[in-house]
Each structure stands twice: as C-alpha cells, then as structure tokens.
Structure 1
C-alpha cells in the first residue's frame, strides 16, 4: 500500500495520523466541556438560579 503513495508515503501517513489525533483531541475536549457545563448548569439550577429564556419579558 505504501508503494502506491510514492516516496513520500511516510510523510503522508504521518500527516493523516496527526489529523486524526488532533481531531480526536478536539472532539474529546468538546465532550468533556459539555459535561462540565451541564454539571455547572445543574448546580446553578439546584441553587435556585433560573433561565431567562423561559420567562415572559416584563
């Protein structure tokens, strides 16, 4: 397979691997931040803070 990529096969494969690692890290970061934000929102709501979007304007 690598012979089909020519003399730069190692660079090409390393580049694809780097992209997979970076994108995986970004997805993981977003998922962890989402969980953190959900926990923070639940804590605020538990303490009595409400959401403005659910109220009628006065």
Structure 2
C-alpha cells in the first residue's frame, strides 16, 4: 500500500485519532466506576433515587 508523499501525515492522523478515542473510552470507564461508587455510598446512607420510589395511590 503506497500512501504517497503524505504518508507521514496520514499515519500521524490515524495515530492521534486512535489515541484520542482510547483516552475517551478510558475516561468513560473510569467515570462510570467513580459514579457507581458514589451512588453506592449514597444508597448506603439511605438516599434513594426518585425513579425507585414506589407510587402510593
């Protein structure tokens, strides 16, 4: 595969894109873990989510 005279730019663009996507995925995974921990701590304290409240007629 010949990328021509712009091969360095093309490879660098793909590398930067892959790096940015990997960082964003890691950020989401870490944020998810943090929020689950915080939510667990709040539920341990007795705080409930409104979506879990039972409706009373």
Give the count of matched residue pairs. 56
- Runs of 5+ in structure 1 lacking a partner? none
| 1:21 to 2:19 alignment | yes
**TM-score normalised according to structure 2 size:** 0.91
**TM-score normalised according to structure 1 size:** 0.89
Show structure 1 runs of 4+ deviating over 4 A: none
What root-mean-square deviation, in Å, do the aligned CA atoms of Structure 1 and Structure 2 show? 1.4
Deviations for 1:2-50, whole angstroms, at most 9, x for unmatched residues?
xx10000000000000000000000000000000000000000000001
- Runs of 5+ in structure 2 lacking a partner? none
Deviation at 1:54, TM superposition (A): 1.4
- Which residue of the partner structure matches residue 5 of structure 1? 3
